[in-house]
Every structure is written in C-alpha cells, then in structure tokens.
Chains A and B, each alone.
Chain A
Amino acid sequence: MAEEQDLSTATDEVIHETVLAWLKDNWRTDRPLAEWRNILVDGGWAAPDWPTECYGRGFSLAQAQVVQRAFREVGAVGAALGGPGNLAAHTILAHGNEAQKRRYLRPILTGEHAWCQLFSEPGSGSDLAGLTTRAKRDGDNYIINGQKVWNTSAHHADFGILIARTDWDAPKHQGISYFLINMRQPGVEVRPLRQMNGHASFNEVFLTDALVPVTDRLGNEGDGWRIASSTLSAERQAFSRDRGIGTLREREGTIYAEYAAEQAIAQEPYTWYPQRAGRVDLALPRAMATGAIRDPVVRQELARLLCLAHAAEYAAASAAATRRAGSNTIVPAGSIAKLTASLIARQASHVHTLVSGPEAMLGGSDGPMDGVIAEILLSVPAISIAGGTDEIQKNIISERVLGLPKEPRFDTGPFRDIPRNAS
C-alpha cells in the first residue's frame, strides 16, 4: 500500500490525475506481466474498490471506474480480475480469515494463480443445495470425493472454490461447507465437457480422495450454503462489470504479448456467447441480402423479433430509472430480463432459420456465413439453461414478485433421508 493520503473521499478529477501521475512513473511496456502486476498491487491500484487492509483503497465502484478509465487512456494492463478468480477473491474478502486473505488474494490480482468454480454436480443442477460431493474430516485434512460439472477454465486452474457436504444428518442447506482446493494434486481429474455445438467451454471435475487442509475451509462447517450464496451474488454482479480492455491485445510491447496470451485462454470459453444470444444484429441485414425479406412470413417474424429486442432495451432503461428513483426492483427485473433474453434468442433463431431456408441444414465452412448461422441455431438452447433455467426464473418471478404460494416441498428433514438421483 502506497504512503499516500486517503483518496476515497477525493473528487473524480483528483483520483484521475493521481492515477495518471502514478502510471507515468511506473507503467512500462517492456516489463514481464507478473512483475508489473506486483508493482500494481504494491501501488494500491490493482483493486481500488477493495478494503485498504487488502490491497485496496476502499473506493466506491464509481471511483474504481475512474481508475479504470485512466488505465484505458494510458493503455495500461490492470489486475487479473476476470472470471472465477474474481469470484474467489470476493468470497475470500467477505468470509476468509487473515491467513487465507494473505495467502490467496495477491496471486489472484497478479494472475499468478488461476481459479475455477466447483459448485454444480451431475445430480444437482437447479437444486444446487442437493449436492452430494462428500468432505470427510481426517485429522488436519478433509478428504473429498464426488463429481463436479460445468467448471469453466478448470483445466487451467491452480485452485478451485468448492462446496461439499460435511453433515448428512442436517437439513440439506445446513450440511454444506465451503473449501479452497488445490487443483494440482493427484485426486483431482479434469476432463473437458463437449457441448452440442461442438465447443468445450466447460469441464467435468472428478474428485477422488482429494485433500483439502482444514485451514483452507472458508468459514465454519455448515456455513457453505450461505457463503456460496455470496459467491453467486458476486457472479450476478460480475456481468455488469466492465471487462473492457480487450483492445489492448493488439498493441505492441512484450507485456501486451503476455497479456494477449492470458486473455486468449481466459476468453476462449466465451467465443460462442454472442451466437447463444441469437445475433439479432444479423437478422435484418441477412433478410435483405438474401431477399427473404420479400416473404410476408419472414417480415412478420422479423418484426416480432425487433419488437422484442427493442422492448427489452426499453424495459432495462425503465428498470434503471426505477432504481435511480430509489425503489429496489433488481431481483424481479433481473429474472424478467433473463426470460426476455431467452425469448429474443429463440425468436432470432427462428428468423435465422426462415431466412436461411434449406441452407440452415449446413454448418462449418459450408454453412451460411461460414458457419455462424449454424452456431446460432445450435447454441441458443443454452441461453434458457445457463445461469438459472427459465423454469427457475419463473419460480422466482411467481413467488417473489407475484406472491404466489410455494409448491409443497419434499426435501426437508435430514439430508440422508431425502429422495435423490440414483448414482
């Protein structure tokens, strides 16, 4: 931490000037990336919105964005705060003890440790709290056995945030504990999980007598669900965080080459995400280019798509206005927005099909737009599943927004007595 005055009460202009001055003294494009990021951490500019005792400055998110803007202006590379490492850091900041913060936070910021998330299981998807990966205490260690799935970047990860069951006699939400697990050990096997669209953005992780020292349990035994909820909430907020400095990849300088290699690995799982959302931007130009726009059915379906897409923008603007006015509508607005994204993607997929006609049978280099259309058609089914299925969103809307009663439950009482999937 630098020996400067407390800037958390300074104006945006002062913060901006201070950052620019510091970058002028410290930013070099010929440094190795890890060396630069250590300087960044020591200078207090890696994560200014973190607390002062953990490498930060206690800035608000708005102030942190001022810092980010200065970095962009200079073309300086920031801390390694994308993806699962960011979630791990937020959770450790909120629930870790001093030793855990000292050990894990700095290498996350510098990018020296890559992380992954080990939450979902083949037997517990929407019902995450029904997980059956077992953590059994054995002296100073926990022995972990079970299987995890949908683990983005697990094949590159050094550590994982893991939830596993420590108590089978407690009700399901109360028998779970939260661990930081070293992925580089014999009991951890990572296998890529190939998706129906041909990509393999996720992994399966098999845990067979894997070890976690007791000192790497986050919080108390049985606190895992509560802590996991804060991870998931950080995950939802991460969507709105500026990922922003992708253009740096094209710049000259050794540090940019290293950064580009890091980003290529980090971004690889997400190349098909625009196609998953339906590529509304392609619908009208393709309809005009192919002449399909002369078809009255295509016209109707295309107009429906554009109506949905515009209305979703207006609804988002309206939700933002309501939030500014002080009313908290984030949860319902988020669930409605997610359902809407599914509607839009499905309608876009429908329009692309109509516009392409029989050419929609073809993919890869033989398919329309060099395979982009095929990738849309085969990726859209993911949007109504990832991040909470449409059905879960509808439960949330109907219960929390509309106040309709919950369905009767069959999963109360000791976890070992609850019906679950055959393994």
Chain B
Amino acid sequence: MDMGFTADQHQFRETVARFLQDKSPPTTVRKLMATEAGYDTAVWRQLTGELGLAGTHLPEDYGGFGFGPVELGIICEEMGRHLYCGPHFASAVMAGYAVLLGATEANRTQLLPDIASGGTIATLVLDNVGDATRVGESITARDDARLTGQARIVLDAHVANLLIVAAATAEGLALFTVAPDAPGVAITPLQGIDSTRKLNTVVFDDTPADRISRTPLDIADLWDHLSVALAHEMMGGAQRLFDTTLDYLKMRVQFGRTIGSFQALKHRCADLLTELELAKAATYAAARYLTTGDGERYSPHMAKAMAGDAYMAMARQAIQLRGGIGFTWEEDTHLWFKRAKSSEVFLGTPDWHRERIMQQLEATHG
C-alpha cells in the first residue's frame, strides 16, 4: 500500500491550511462559538464557492470534484487543526456521504449538486450517534411517507435547510429527506460542551418525508466513511495541540531552565508523538482502504478508536504541561480539549470501535 501523499495533495493541503489560518484564528473561533448560528456565512460561501471544499470528495457527475476520502481527509484535518466553525462536517461529510452512498441515482443527481456547491446546507439526522447498530430504534417511517421519533443529537440542524433522515421501515433502514419547516418538525438547540460544534435535538411527529434510498441502507459502510473523516479532523486538532504545547515547553522557564529540558517532560512528549504518529498512520491507512479497498476491512474502526484515544491523551497533556494557565478560559487549549472530548464519543467511543473490530474478526475467523 502506498502511504505517501502526492505533490498535488501537499499543495492542496497548503491551500486549505492557508485559507483556514486566515479565516479561522482562535479569536474568530471564540467570536463564532458565542453566536447562535455558530458560523460566518461569508466564509462558508468562500469555502464552498471559490475553494469548492463541500464537493471535493463527491463525483463530478454530481457537481463535485471527483476526489475521495484522502482529499476529504486533508480538508477535515486542516479544519480540525484550525477548529473551523461551520456546517462542513454536517452538510458535506455527513449528509453528502449519506446521499452519495445511500440514495438512488435520481436522488443523488437531484440532491448532491446543491450540497457540493454549498448552496444547500444539509445535515444527517441519526437517532443514535454512538452506536451504528442501533440507528433506527427511535425514528420510524409509516407508509414510507411519515416520520415519527426523536434524534437526540444532530449536528447543525438549526442552520440546515435540508434534513437527511435515517429511519426504520418495514424493509430495514432507509433515507428520507425532510424540510426543516415541515409540519411536525421540532428543532431544539442543545448546550454542547464544545461550543464550536452546534448540536440540536430533532423531533418528528407524523412529519411528511420523501424516501430517497431504495435498498436497506448500508449503515456500517456510511458509518465507516464518517468515522474516517472525523478521525482526520481529530488528528489535525491533536497535531495542533502537540505543536503549541511543544512551543510552550521551549519558552516557559522555571527553576532557571526551560521546562522542555526536563527529561520527565521530554519523555512524555516522545510518548505523545509516538501515539499521535500511530493514530495518524491508522487514519491515513483507513482513508486509503475506503479509496482502494486495500488493507484491513476494519481499518476505519482502528482509525476512530486510535484517534479518539490519542486526541484525548494529547488534550489532557496539553493542559497538564501548561500547568495552571492551561486550565484558564483565556488560554486557547480548552477549545481543543472540548472538541477532543466531544469527538471521542461522537460516532462511537474507542471501546465501541474496538468491539466492532472483534466482531468483524470473529466473523472472518470463526
């Protein structure tokens, strides 16, 4: 398996990184996280329009750029690094992948171009964001046309103009579209621990909906794609914390020496780097698995499990190694700590993903 990035991919990463460095500094993140909408519409238009970042991973036939999980991974990694506030993950990644992987050809053709262009902000409504095997336990579809049930945690539903909903039908899970202002829809903002990620509860009460998928939805495949994109976002954030923590250790002086010269802290940094590099390797390998099918069938689960542990380990140490200042609101570290904690459990805890690995191994070797 070739694990390197091409020169084009490096260049693409630089373009995305430069844009986000400019548009998403911590001062802006703090400003946006305090607003209700949580994002800057002008930056969203630039990001989706000029840069086309909502359609990078979608096929050209549906208005995208025809790249795949590796390039989407680059975008997510940079967004995680810069803690980008906006509906990219909800709309481009979650709703975009759901339609791409689950909807009929006609519905893809109809829905994806607007998601790819950023003209539509969509989100994916899952009634369980911690356990893929339990999706559809709450939201059910009657006569393929009316939805009832609750999704406790939904990303960016408060700014979405299209809801893609996974609901249980007689033949299994299926995808539906719902207009946010349709009868019987209630969208209630929640207080998240991570204010840069806006969460809502979405309730349907006999809400009219259009079915867009034919066969039972392959939720495991969709979940794999979402997990790998999220793992990239997490690795970007973890790397950012690692870099800024290292800078701090080289600058802070106590006992007459920079604290980065103390072996206890140097060794901790070496351990963190090792854990980070392994999690990144697993994450990049999972993106390549989704692209080519090379590698382990369970590599998306490995990626999310390792990213979850590595990001939290890094976040804990980013605060610990700063001492008291790291626990203040004024210092930026807690912004990433909160994203790390939120991401650790979103789309499955590390333990959940490890259990899935074991189930797949048993199915293969049993």
Contact = CB atoms under 8 A, between A and B. Distances in A.
A299 B351 CA distance: 10
Contact of B266 (A339, A340, A404): A404
Interface residues of A, number: 44
Nearest to A321: B4
Nearest to A296: B355
B257 to A, nearest CB: 8
Contacts of A308: 278
Interface string B1-40: 1111000000000000000000000000000000000000
A304 B258 contact: no
Given A284-B365, A307-B305, A407-B261, A397 B354 contact: no
Contacts of B3: 314, 317-318, 320-321
A74 B265 CA distance: 55
B273 A405 contact: no
Interface of B is mostly: helix
Contact of A405 (B2, B260, B354, B355): B260
B1 A317 contact: yes
Interface stretch (A165-173, A377-385, A388-396): A388-396
Please give me the 4 A-B residue pairs with the lowest Cβ-Cβ distance, nearest first.
Answer: A321-B4, A303-B354, A398-B266, A394-B270
B132 interface: no
Contacts of A304: 354
A402 B361 contact: no
A266 B194 CA distance: 60
A317 B285 CA distance: 10
Contacts of A103: none
Given A315-B278, A402-B270, A404-B250, A300 B355 contact: yes
A311 B279 contact: yes
B188 interface: no
Given A397-B273, A407-B261, A402 B246 contact: yes
B351 A343 contact: no
A150 B258 CA distance: 37
A338 to B, nearest CB: 10
Given A322-B4, A339-B270, A405 B250 contact: yes
Interface string A395-418: 101110111111110000000000
Interface of A is mostly: helix
A299 B357 CA distance: 9
Contacts of A312: 278, 281
B277 interface: yes
Interface string B274-287: 10011101101100
A312 to B, nearest CB: 7
B281 A311 contact: yes
A307 B306 contact: yes
A325 interface: yes
B191 interface: no
Given A311-B278, A336-B277, A404-B266, A300 B354 contact: yes
A68 B185 CA distance: 72
A307 B302 contact: yes
B50 interface: no
A324 interface: yes
Contact of A293 (B261, B274, B277, B358): B358
Nearest to B282: A311
A404 B354 contact: no
Nearest to B358: A299
A314 B281 contact: yes
Interface in B154-186: none
A299 B354 contact: yes
B362 interface: yes
A321 B288 CA distance: 14
Interface in B283-326: 284-285, 296, 299, 302, 305-306
Interface in B208-262: 246, 249-250, 257-258, 260-262
A406 B261 contact: yes
B231 to A, nearest CB: 12
B267 interface: yes
B302 A318 contact: no
